[in-house]
Homo-oligomer: A and B are copies of this chain.
Amino acid sequence: MTVQIDRDRNYSTLSLVSPIPPPEDIRLDRAIRLGVMASGSGTNFEALAQAIDNRELNAQIPVLIYNNPEAKVKEKAKKWNVPAILLDHRIYKRREDLDRVIIEVFQQNQVEWIVMAGWMRIITSVLLDAFPNRVINIHPSLLPSFKGVRAIEQALESKVKITGCTVHLASLEVDSGPIIMQAAVPILPNDTPETLHARIQIQEHKIFPIAIALAAKQFGFQ
């Protein structure tokens, strides 16, 4: 078990990362199949694709689902040769209807784990029941502080001095399932939402692949 500290001169990567088991304890015996869901720029998706490419995470991403036609994650998926499917949430009357199509897409692609990499829609029990303990979420705060939208703005407004990010299993209550990993970063006096977001993202990209392997070991069938 190691606990990681990173620092550099301008503090952009300064962090405290929660304990990580030795690499041999979280090495996956075979490539797990991840279905990724994203709504935005896709930096977390790309961090996973990169970690897989670097053989740091034994996984494959057979399919990515995005809900916003303008989402830049679409281009990142193309770059990494991951098939990207648009499921525009606006054409579904109820959240459950969208979730049923997501399940259909993921099951057809033999997805084992769902990874919400900046998915900005609320999921329902329909999706969670189809993938019990198999939906992983990443959130830009040290949960249980600052759940929900605008987590980074919430942290700045509340004037805390330390915030971070959390990878956890999704549950029906938003941003509340069992925590897998966390990383803490300082809030600096002149931080804006943008500078703080950038600092947190560096940690997200670092812990997300490790946390997925950890979850596959802890909660999974490996």
Given contacts A3-B11, A5-B7, contact A18 B162 (CB under 8 A): yes
A16/B15 in contact, CB under 8 A: yes
Q: How many copies does the complex hold?
A: 2
In the complex formed, the residue of B with least CB distance to A21 is B189
Q: Interface size class for chain A? A: 20 to 34
Docked Cα-Cα span, A181 to B160, in Å, equals 8
Stretch at the interface among A42-50, A118-126, A128-136, A137-145: A137-145
Verify if A102 is at the interface (C-beta below 8 Å from B): no
A161/B179 in contact, CB under 8 A: yes
21 contacts between A and B (CB under 8 A): A3-B7, A3-B11, A3-B188, A5-B7, A16-B16, A16-B162, A18-B161, A18-B186, A142-B142, A144-B145, A145-B145, A159-B178, A160-B182, A161-B179, A161-B181, A161-B182, A162-B164, A162-B182, A162-B183, A162-B184, A164-B184
In the complex, the 7 A-B pairs of residues with the closest C-beta atoms, listed nearest first? A18-B161, A16-B16, A184-B184, A161-B182, A162-B182, A145-B145, A3-B186
